[in-house]
Amino acid sequence: MQTVVRRLLSVLFAALPISLLLVVVPDGAAPARAATVVDGPDVSSHQHPGGAAIDWGKVRANGREFGFVKATEGSGYANPYFARDYAGLRTAGMIRGAYHFARPAGGATNARAQARYFVAHAGTLTGAGELPAVLDLEVTGGLGPSALVAWTHAYVDEVQRLTGRKPMIYTYPSFWRNAMGNTTAFTGYPLWIATYSSAPQLVGGWTRYTFWQYTDRAGISGISGGVDNSVFAGTPSALTAMARTAVRPGAPTRVVASAAGTTASLTWAAPSSGSTASGYRVSVDGRQVAQVAGGTLKYSAAGLTPGGHQLSVLAYNAAGTGPAASAAATVIVRPGAPTSLRLGVSGTTVTAAWAAPAANAGELTGYHVSVDGGPAATVPAATASYSAPNLRPGMHTVAVTAYNRIGDGPAASAVATVIVKPAAPANLMLSVVGTSITAAWSPPATDAGQLTGYRVRLDGGTPVTVPAATTTHTFSQLAPGPHTVTVLAYNSIGDGDTGSAVATVIITPTSPTGLHASVASGTVTASWSPPVQIGGELSGYLLQVDGTAPLHVAADVTTQSVTGLAPGRHRIAVAAYNSAGISKQVATFVLVVFAPDSPGAVSVVTRLGTATLTWSAPANVRGELSGYLVWVDGGNPVSLPATTTHFAATKLTAGPHVLEVAAFNTAGSSAPVLEQVTVVLPPTAPTAFTATGRAGGNLDLTWAAPAQPGGPLSGYRIGLDGKLVSQVAASAQRTTLRGVVAGRHTVTVTAWNAAGTGVTASRSVTVLPTPSLSALLSAARVKPGAAFSVSGATARSFAGQWVHLQVWRSSAWHEVTHAVVSSTGHYVLRAHALSTVTTTSYRVVMLPNATRYVGHSGTVRLRTG
């Protein structure tokens, strides 16, 4: 069970009855068992992890005699495994019981409801092999001791009523002492105590226990995990007897009843079937009056009232109660007065009706009826009425006596008045105050002087009876709407004619429901549903915009349009009204929006391929601004939030571009504002760049315009060895640098425009010195065919360069020999033979590459002959 206290067992059981011997070890271990130990588990859904089943056959084979199964908890939980486990116990041949885990709350009504819920699921537990129902009492549900004791009484009483057996109470010591105030009010019920110590502890005045739960961690084959285990305080046969395995006795035989005076006697013989009776219960007229031992076969009931009495006796034993056997006896005395005498008047006839005397001895012969003391009429015993016709109007006394063979009893008398039905009340008027209607009227013109009162009815409901002296009645807390009040006068004859009137109760209506407002083209349309409660009648609605004077709307209209509202947020409120007042408003908000004006102060700046567009908010947003739309060169718009007033268009190509911006909201967008801008990018490097060095310190540079000028060029900048040495116009595509020192140089050309300096084109070039020509042998004339040498010098840094001797012939220079400049800068052109006898010019040329001559010396004319 779900006990609160969980402790380990570590010592022996003590204080058990002599018939029990059980050695207890720590929780979860199997105790050493003696042959007389009667024990068994109690289970719930916790013993079905993952839906696992319990093998009750193994549990029985493990020596367990009985088992309890949790059936219910509170008034809403039923153990889904109860039916399976309860049937499994029976199949395994084990004694079985069921328990209910209490969830106390409230009072006796809750307790009885839980009891009924338990019995509905567990059954009456009165079959063979079934133990009494168990109340598992472990939690208070917030109830104090006195309330919890009362709750427990109500529960066990109801279970006993439903099952015919006293239920058992399961608890633990600290709970009973504290939560139940250690009450001794339940010692008449079997006790199941949970004590996880060396011995069971008794509480609440109990001197013995029936079951002792000593652990919640027993290991039992067939059950998954640890489980509660208890021992029975008795022998196996005692447990069998408690479980009703004996056969119930049959009905007593030879039952005879007799009466003498006011005493009735009953005799009987023992039942002829079933087990031996432990005793007998005797009932008189369905009420048990005695319980006698099994050897007693008679009983006398004294002081009985006159009349017929039914005497019954039933036998019982440990298996239950057998059927009853009955016999009748009649106590005869002079009859009492007839009961419930009542008189009715119809016209001039008075009819008396009555009931038999409370004690008529069952031997009633008849009745004597007299009117106003006159001769008595005789009425048979089976008849309980008498009519006296043709009576004069006025009061009449009717007396009725019952009689039997002993004689007449006392008379019962009543007075009746012969009257006529009253007329309808006069001058019926209704007045309404709040939710009350007061009816006022005057007495009927004729009421035969015997007006009993009035019956006042509202809307056909149950009538209210008003005394004859009262001519007003108020109905309060009425629902709104029309009500019909009827009033009739009545007397002992019956109801008179009815008067009626109608009045309407009117209260302030509740608020309209479902208010919704929509906007279309500047027109706001509000719609709503009528109030849940119109208060009796509805006069109409009041529609208010922004707290201005309300607009009246007819009661059958639930929509209204409002025009001419300025852009912006507006509060739309609606209230219902009638003659009693105005309801609370229901309100909603709506936004009236028109397309905004265009953005203002639009401007654009560009830098390095980025155009930044800026603007200010529209002068009039016309309700609410959703944001801005920006277009670049007519492409797809870019949407920006209303808080942004700039946009950067990046990676623009050089040239003209168009940027546009418009404001927008839910009503549409403004006209776009257009800005045109020309993007200028730094140019790329000049193309086809060449650099040629010439003797004498000159550098010839040529180039073509950049492939991407990025905009109108401003010019070119010429650099030499990292220094700006020249700047030329944008139209120039060549220039010459003069006076350049001979040697290796880096020359650059860079285009520039309004966006800045572009990419530089660079070349390495050598400026050759002018070679010198020192001599042509030693004479100015050379004979034809004679050889001669040419020598000269240049800068030492040009060692290894080739020098060539050229001769002018046939209008062109022709190479005739060559040599290499030495490490000192000198060179010698040797063994050249003059082949012609002419006047010929010679020069020395330095050759920087295989195709071009540069840097020649001055020419020398050599004569021959």
Are 274 and 250 in contact, with CB atoms under 8 Å apart? yes
Who has greater pLDDT, 277 or 286?
286
Residue 836, pLDDT score: 55
Residue 802 buriedness (CB in 10 A; 0-12 / 13-18 / 19+): middle
Tokens representing 561 are 């349009």
Instruction: Share the mean pLDDT of the chain.
Output: 86
Tell me the mean pLDDT in the region 612-621. Answer: 91
Can you tell me the distance from the alpha carbon of 363 to that of 367, in angstroms, rounded to the nearest whole number? 12
What mean pLDDT comes out for the span 802-829?
Answer: 80
Phi, psi of 701 (to 5 degrees): -115, 135
Contact 551, 544 (CB under 8 A): yes
As a whole number of angstroms, the distance between CA 40 and CA 627 comes to 80
Tokens linked to 54: 């319990």
Contact 137/173 with Cβ under 8 angstroms?
Answer: no
Longest dimension (CA), the chain: 211
130 is catalytic: no
> What are the pLDDT digits (tens) for 419-455?
777 888 999 999 999 889 999 999 987 655 578 899 9
Task: Please say whether the beta carbons of 597 and 619 come within 8 A.
Answer: yes
* This model's pTM is above 0.85: no
Angle between helix axes 108-122 and 145-163 (nearest 10 degrees) is 40
Taking alpha carbons only, the member of 194, 221, 232, 214 closest to residue 26 is: 214
Share of the chain above pLDDT 90, in %: 52
For position 771, what pLDDT does the model report? Answer: 75
Reply yes or no on whether the pLDDT at 578 is more than 70: yes
How many Å apart are CA 487 and CA 456, to the nearest integer?
5
The count of residues in the chain is 865
- Cα 709 to Cα 686: distance, rounded to the nearest angstrom: 9
pLDDT surpasses 80 at 306:
no
Cα 491 from Cα 383, distance rounded (Å): 27
The confidence score (pLDDT) of residue 848 equals 61
Strand partners, 490: 453, 495
Check residue 23 and give its pLDDT: 31
Q: 615 pLDDT exceeds 80? A: yes
pLDDT at 334 (0 to 100): 80
Q: Where are the beta strands (DSSP E) in 712-864?
A: 713-720, 723-728, 734-737, 743-753, 756-767, 775-776, 781-782, 787-793, 802-809, 812-820, 826-833, 840-846, 854-856, 860-864
The residue behind tokens 């018939």 is 19
pLDDT digits (tens, 9 = 90+) for 549-571: 999 999 899 999 998 888 888 89
**Residue 2 in this model has a pLDDT that exceeds 50:** no
Closest C-alpha among 198, 205, 154, 196 to residue 177: 205
**Least trusted range by pLDDT, from 3-12, 201-210, 513-522, 582-591:** 3-12
pLDDT of residue 839: 61
**Marked catalytic residue, from 39, 42, 73, 660:** 42
Q: Is 394 left (phi over 0), alpha (psi -120 to 50) or beta?
A: left
Phi, psi of 700 (to 5 degrees): -100, 125
Task: Note the pLDDT of residue 865.
Answer: 59
Return the axis-axis angle of helices 82-91 and 108-122, rounded to nearest 10°.
50
Does residue 608 surpass a pLDDT of 90? no
Tell me, what's the pLDDT at 564? Answer: 81
Give the pLDDT confidence score for residue 805 in this predicted structure.
Answer: 77
**What is the pLDDT at residue 32?**
42
Mean pLDDT of 223-248: 86
- Helix (H) or strand (E) run with residue 118 in it: helix 108-122
558 closest CA partner among 537, 603, 527: 527
Q: What is the DSSP string of 549-611?
A: SPEEEETT--EEEE--PPSEEEEEEEEEEETTEEPPPEEEEEEE--PPPPPEEEEEEEETTEE
Decide: 739 and 728 in contact? Cβ < 8 Å. Answer: no
Span 169-178, average pLDDT: 97
- Strand partners for 370: 399
509-519 pLDDT per residue, tens: 999 999 999 88
- The pLDDT tens digits for 755-765 are 889 899 999 98
721 torsion bin: left (phi>0), alpha (psi -120 to 50), beta (else)? left
CA dihedral 199, 200, 204, 207 (to 10 degrees): -90
**What token pair was written down for 725?**
């040495």
Q: Is the pLDDT at 235 greater than 70, yes or no?
A: yes
pLDDT tens, 705-738?
Answer: 998 898 899 999 999 999 999 999 989 999 999 8
**Separation between Cα atoms, residue 211 and residue 214, nearest integer Å:** 9
Q: Residue range 580-606: average pLDDT?
A: 89
pLDDT reported for residue 259: 85
Q: What is the pLDDT of residue 241?
A: 86
pLDDT, one tens digit per residue, over 362-417 is 578 899 999 999 999 999 988 989 999 988 767 899 999 998 877 888 999 999 87
pLDDT at 678 exceeding the cut of 60: yes
Predicted confidence band of residue 146 (pLDDT cuts 50, 70, 90): very high
42 catalytic, yes or no?
yes
**Residue of 136, 138, 216, 228 with catalytic role:** 138
Instruction: Indicate if the pLDDT at residue 129 is higher than 80.
Output: yes
> Looking at per-residue confidence, does 57 or 698 come out higher?
57
Helix (H) or strand (E) holding 202: none
Kindly indicate the confidence band of residue 28, based on its pLDDT and cuts at 50, 70 and 90: very low
Provide the pLDDT for residue 823.
84
